[in-house]
Amino acid sequence: MANTTIASAAELKRHLFYETSHSPALADLVGYEKAKDIIDFCFIANPYYPTAEMLRDMAHNLPNLIKSYPSSSPIMSQRNLAAVLHVSPEKLIIGNGATELIVLIDTTIIDRFAVPIPTFGEYIEKLRDQRDAELYPLDPDRRYELHLPDYLDWVHRRNLRSALIINPGNPTGQFISLDEMIDFLNAASDLELVIVDESFIDFAGDPIPSLIPVAERFSNLLIVRSMSKHCGVPGLRLGYCYSGNLYLLNRMRRFIPTWNLNTLAEYFLSLLPQTDAAYHEARKHLMADVRWLYESLKSIRGIDVYPTGANFVLFKVKTGITASELQLRLLEEHQMYVRDCSNKVGMDDRHIRVASQGRDKDSRLVEALRVLLQ
């Protein structure tokens, strides 16, 4: 059973000292110049995509793109994305990052919803009213793992009509199999809305264990995905929602600002169909790197490494040192920036999250941790 002590988002947020739950951007901490010399393991994105050729192509077109207005209709972009997802374009909404869509979900379509914590902070920070989220604290002694049948029991007992699942979880990396997700959705058919954030699902397996191919079967299902992570383009601001329920999508669509996507982002989307093979190669390359990182971290004494289905790994520091002390030492002594998860609602002060940055940089991180912890 998960820890059932319930606290409101407002109550828990008081402990954040008015910060957001995101880590400060590296450039904000040390300036743009110095940031170049530091390896940023907070940065959760695919290092192998867009390909060098795509980047050159975008750079070449940049002057023209900057001087143009984006399209006033999202349909072309939806078609480009739909082509690689193998879905109907009208069942997609593309946002200025998944964050734009999360804020929209929070403010326009949910009343009260269940949120397992720790979570991705935007889900609980942008609510109309902090009481709109009922927090379901995951048990630190069980590695903050979400057990779906317990969660659903709790959602029903609290008479909630909507629930969030992030799969693979952020910050835990916990992956819930497609079969378990389908069982949950079958059992949760009485809920009005089940939001499943699959921002990291492309790193969870091959074929990708996404709910998208079965989404038509569940009218209460809304899938959210950030393209920052799996497509490696956080600066372009691209994310999308997919649902088989057009009514639900249309309720959201009304609030999407015209020109919410910039021209560079639209241009990037137009490159997706012709670079899909390179994308899947990049995804699999990164998955192999993450497996290596996970296994290597496991060989370090003094940390407990959590299984992951994402492109990052969460670990707990078991020696006397806190996560923030370890973060500081890595920054000062090894020029590496890792995510101290202490300011995440519902998480203790012992957890660090590291996103794979490719084998070479990852191996330097493993060595640095060995030096500091053994």
Ligand X SMILES: Cc1ncc(COP(=O)(O)O)c(C=O)c1O
Q: Which residues bind ligand X (CB under 6 A)?
A: 97-99, 120, 166, 170, 197, 199, 226, 228, 234, 239
Q: Smallest distance, Å, CB 42 to ligand X?
A: 10
Query: From CA 191, how far away is CA 208, in angstroms rounded?
Result: 26
Q: Smallest distance, Å, CB 367 to ligand X?
A: 27
- Closer Cβ to ligand X, 166 or 222, answer by number: 166
- Closer Cβ to ligand X, 96 or 275, answer by number: 96
Query: From CA 272, how far away is CA 199, in angstroms rounded?
Result: 17
Q: Smallest distance, Å, CB 107 to ligand X?
A: 15
- Closer Cβ to ligand X, 261 or 368, answer by number: 261
Nearest to 283 by CA among 169, 364, 206: 206
Give the H or E element holding residue 197: strand 193-197
Cβ atoms 236, 265 nearer than 8 A: yes
- Closer Cβ to ligand X, 350 or 353, answer by number: 353
Cβ atoms 198, 211 nearer than 8 A: yes
- Closer Cβ to ligand X, 82 or 223, answer by number: 223
Q: Which residues contact 90 (CB under 8 A, 6 or more apart)?
A: 78, 246, 249
Q: Which residues contact 38 (CB under 8 A, 6 or more apart)?
A: 26, 30, 331, 335, 336, 337
Query: From CA 237, how far away is CA 270, in angstroms rounded?
Result: 15
Q: Smallest distance, Å, CB 122 to ligand X?
A: 6
Q: Smallest distance, Å, CB 301 to ligand X?
A: 29
- Closer Cβ to ligand X, 195 or 368, answer by number: 195
Q: Smallest distance, Å, CB 226 to ligand X?
A: 3
Neighbours of 327 (CB within 10 A): 23
Three-state secondary-structure class, residue 201: helix
Query: From CA 138, how far away is CA 147, in angstroms rounded?
Result: 9
Q: Smallest distance, Å, CB 168 to ligand X?
A: 9
Residue 133 has phi, psi (to 5 degrees) of -105, 130
- Closer Cβ to ligand X, 110 or 372, answer by number: 110
Tokens read off for 38:
């530091």
